[in-house]
Structure 1
Amino acid sequence: MSGLDLPFDTWDSTVDWLLGAPLRVVLILLFAVVARWAAHRAIRGVVDGAAKRADEHERSSLERAFDTATGARRERRRQRALTMGSLLRSIATFVIATVALLTIMAELGMPLAPLLTSAGIGGVAIGFGAQSLVKDFLSGIFMIIEDQYGVGDLVDTGEAVGTVEEVTLRVTRLRDASGVVWFIRNGEIIRIGNKSQGWAVATIDIPVAYDEDPARVIPLLREVSAQVYADPEWSDKLLEEPSVAGVESVSGGTMTLRVFAKTRPGEQWGVPRVIRERAKERFDDEGVRGPRISPFGDAQF
C-alpha cells in the first residue's frame, strides 16, 4: 500500500465514497435541471398571460377586428412574448446554474470565501464602471415588459420623434420624418409619448368669413362629417363619427369652426385632409365664403 489514502482500496470504501459527494453532486445537477425546466414552464405561462391581458385592455370591437384582419397586433404580441421569454429564461438559467455550481464546489470541499470575495470586489468594480450600461439594460427590460412601445410605433422620446425600427435591451432605433436614424439609449429616455397605441384624436379647424351664420354653416359641416364617416374608404380609419364642436374663435375677419375626429393610430393626419377637402367643396356649392384676404397675409384653409 502506498502512503496515499485512496477511497478505492476496498469495495466498501468505494461504495461509501460514491454514496457521498458524487451522489450529492449528481442530485444537485438533477435538481438544477428540474428547477430550470419548472422555471421555463412558469415563465412561458406568465408571458402568455401578460400578452393576452394586454390584448384585452380597453380595446373596442372595431380595433380587434382590424388587428385580426391585418395580423399586426398578433405579430407584435408574438415578438414581445418571444423577447420577454428569452430574457427571463436566460436570467433563470444563469441564476440556477450559478447556485448549482457554488453548491457543487462546497460539496467538493473547495474554499468559497476567497472566490466570493474576489467576485464581489470584481462585481463592484464592474458595476461602477458600467453604471450607464446597467441602467440601459434595466430600462430596456421594463420597456419590453410594460409594452411601452414596439416596432412600427410612432413615438416622441423627447430627443427625437419618429417611427420605431428596432428595440433592444440597450438602445432604441428611430427613423424620423426626414429619414434620419436616431439611436437612443434606453437609460436616457426620461419620458415617452406613444402616438400609435389605442386611438388618436385629430383636431380640424375650418375658417370661414366672419359674417357667415353659424346656424347655417355648422349643419353643413356635420353633413360633411357624416359623409366622410359613411365612406368605406375612411370608415375603417375612424372609430366614430367626427363631431363638430362649434365656433372655436372669432378674430379679425375670420370665424373658425372646430371638428374633432377619433381615429385609428397614424390616421390623425390623413383624416383632417379629407374633411377639409370635402368641406371646401360643400361650402363652395352652398355659397359659404371663406375669410377675407388680409393685406398682412392670406388666411389658411
Structure 2
Amino acid sequence: MFLLFSPTPAPDASPTADPSLTPIPTPVVTLTPTPTPTPTSPEEMVLPDPETLTNTVLATCSGNDDVICPLVEGVLPKGWAPFAAWLITIILILLGALVLRNLVRRLIDRITRRAAMGVLPERLRGRAEHMDTAQALLTERRRQRAETMGSVLRYIASIVIMGTALLMILARFGMNLAPLLTSVGILGVAVGFGAQELVKDFISGMFMLLEDQYGVGDIIDTGTATGTVEAVTLRITRLRDFDGKVWYIRNGTITRVGNESQGWSRALVDVPVPYDADIDEIRELLKDIATGLWEEPDQHDLVIVEEPRVYAVEQISDSALIFRVTAKTVPGQQAQVARELRVRIKRALDERGIAFAATP
C-alpha cells in the first residue's frame, strides 16, 4: 500500500481562492546599527589635512582688515597672492618674536647691571676710606643675585614670547590648538601636583633673591644649621658651619632666617671691675680706649662705622660693677673688634693697677 504525499498549494496559487481576499503585506522594520565613534588620536585632532591647509591659505586674503594682501596682489598674480601673504605673515610673526625677545633680554640685562652696581648703605658711607673689602663683598653679592634673577627673567621671557609665536604660526597652518592646549594644561597640572615641593623651592628661592634675605658670605641661622653661605640657587642654599660641615638646605623648608651679616654688626664687651672702683674714672678710661680705636687711622682691618659708646654701669652686684662698651662695625667684624677692645682694656687697667672683679 503506497501513500502519496503532495505539497499543499499556497493560498494565492489555489484556483478556488477568493480574489477579493488579498493578503496585507507586513511592514518590515530595518534596524540600522548606530556607528560607534572611534576615538580620535591627538595627531588627527591637531594636524590638518591638505584640504584644510589649502583652505586656510586661501582664506588669508578673505579678511577685510588684512594689510599684506593688498600689497601682494599688486605685485604677484592673483592666484599667488594668498600663498605669498600667508608665508609673509608667518615670517613676520617669527621675526617679530625674535626682535621682541632681544629687546626684552636687553632691557633685563640693563636692569640687572644697574641692580648689580648698587651703593654703600648710608650708615657705612662715613668710613668709606676703609670700605674697600666691604664694598667688594657687597658688589659681589649684588652681582650674583642680579645675575640669578636676570637668568630666570630671560628664560621666562623667552618661553612666553617664543611659545606665543609658535602657537600663532601653528594657527596659520590651520591646526586645531584646543586639544593641544588642553593636553598641555592637564600635563602642567599633573607635573605641578607631582613636583609641588620642587615648585615650592623655586618660588621660595625667587622671593629670597628678590628680597635679599641673604647672600654668599653671610653668616645665617636657618634653624636647621648655622654657618656661612657658600652658594645660593633657586632650589637650595649651601652652608658651611663652624666645624667645616657642609649643609644643603632646600629653600622651601626655610621658614626663618637670622642674618648676622646685613647692614652692620655690633661688638659688645662687658668689663667687670671691683665694687669700690671709681665709676667716673673707669667710664672715662673706657671711653678713651674706644675713641682711640675709632680714630686710629692704622686700623684698616677693623672697620668701625660709628663712634663706640660706653654705658656707665650695665650691671651691679655686691662684688662687681659691670661696664659695657659697644661698637658698630661692618658685618662679620664684630668679633675682631671685640677682641681688640678687650686687649686694650686689659692693658689700660693693668697700667692703672685696677684688677678685674669676679662676676657672679
TM category (shorter chain) comes to 0.7 to 0.9
1:271 to 337, 349, 359: 337
Q: Answer with 39-48 or 276-285: which moved more.
A: 39-48
> Judging changes above 3 Å, is the alpha-carbon distance between structure 1 residues 63 and 45 closer, same or farther for their aligned structure 2 residues?
farther
Alignment correspondent of 1:159? 224
- 1:27, CA displacement in angstroms? 1.2
Equivalent residue of 1:106, what SS?
helix
> Judging changes above 3 Å, is the alpha-carbon distance between structure 1 residues 65 and 178 closer, same or farther for their aligned structure 2 residues?
same
1:189-217: CA deviation from partner (whole Å, max 9, x where unpaired): 12222221221111211111122121221
1:181 to 246, 254, 269: 246
Alignment-mate amino acid for residue 60 of structure 1:
L
Alignment correspondent of 1:55? 119
- 1:45, CA displacement in angstroms? 2.7
Are positions 1:18 and 2:84 aligned together? yes
In the alignment, is the contact (CA less than 8 A) between 2:225 and 2:241 conserved in 1?
Answer: yes
1:69-105: CA deviation from partner (whole Å, max 9, x where unpaired): 6633333333332222211111100111111111111
Q: Answer with 171-180 or 194-203: which moved more.
A: 194-203
- 1:226, CA displacement in angstroms? 2.0
- 1:126, CA displacement in angstroms? 0.9
In the alignment, is the contact (CA less than 8 A) between 1:217 and 1:288 conserved in 2?
Answer: no
State the distance in 2 between where 1:94 and 1:32 align: 11
> Judging changes above 3 Å, is the alpha-carbon distance between structure 1 residues 118 and 157 closer, same or farther for their aligned structure 2 residues?
same
Q: Answer with 156-165 or 90-99: which moved more.
A: 156-165
State the distance in 2 between where 1:188 and 1:12 align: 65
> Judging changes above 3 Å, is the alpha-carbon distance between structure 1 residues 40 and 64 closer, same or farther for their aligned structure 2 residues?
farther
Matches within 5 A, 1:136-215: 136-215=201-280
Alignment correspondent of 1:226? 291
Gapped regions of structure 1 (runs ≥ 5): 293-298
Are positions 1:38 and 2:94 aligned together? no
- 1:260, CA displacement in angstroms? 0.8
Alignment-mate amino acid for residue 263 of structure 1:
T
Alignment-mate amino acid for residue 58 of structure 1:
E
Equivalent residue of 2:272, what SS?
strand
> Judging changes above 3 Å, is the alpha-carbon distance between structure 1 residues 270 and 196 closer, same or farther for their aligned structure 2 residues?
same
2:315 to 243, 246, 249: 249
Matches within 5 A, 1:101-112: 101-112=166-177
- 1:180, CA displacement in angstroms? 1.1
State the distance in 1 between where 2:143 and 2:130 align: 17
> Judging changes above 3 Å, is the alpha-carbon distance between structure 1 residues 101 and 59 closer, same or farther for their aligned structure 2 residues?
farther
- 1:158, CA displacement in angstroms? 2.1
In the alignment, is the contact (CA less than 8 A) between 2:121 and 2:263 conserved in 1?
Answer: no
- 1:275, CA displacement in angstroms? 1.0
State the distance in 1 between where 2:131 and 2:194 align: 45
1:215-255: CA deviation from partner (whole Å, max 9, x where unpaired): 22111111211222233443651112321011001124121
State the distance in 2 between where 1:71 and 1:228 align: 24
Q: TM-score, normalised by structure 2?
A: 0.73
Alignment correspondent of 1:296? none
Equivalent residue of 1:269, what SS?
helix
> Judging changes above 3 Å, is the alpha-carbon distance between structure 1 residues 63 and 113 closer, same or farther for their aligned structure 2 residues?
farther
% identity of equivalent residues: 47
Are positions 1:239 and 2:305 aligned together? yes
RMSD: 2.5
> Judging changes above 3 Å, is the alpha-carbon distance between structure 1 residues 274 and 57 closer, same or farther for their aligned structure 2 residues?
closer
1:39-95: CA deviation from partner (whole Å, max 9, x where unpaired): 11221232233344x425535324654455663333333333222221111110011
State the distance in 2 between where 1:58 and 1:147 align: 17
> Judging changes above 3 Å, is the alpha-carbon distance between structure 1 residues 191 and 271 closer, same or farther for their aligned structure 2 residues?
same
Q: Larger radius of gyration, structure 1 or 2? A: 2
2:328 to 247, 252, 262: 262
Alignment correspondent of 2:5? none
Alignment-mate amino acid for residue 202 of structure 1:
A
2:180 to 111, 115, 118: 115
Gapped regions of structure 2 (runs ≥ 5): 1-49, 58-75
Equivalent residue of 1:163, what SS?
strand
Q: TM-score, normalised by structure 1?
A: 0.87
In the alignment, is the contact (CA less than 8 A) between 2:272 and 2:322 conserved in 1?
Answer: yes
Name the count of aligned residue pairs: 288
State the distance in 1 between where 2:192 and 2:317 align: 61
Alignment correspondent of 1:97? 162
In the alignment, is the contact (CA less than 8 A) between 1:198 and 1:265 conserved in 2?
Answer: yes
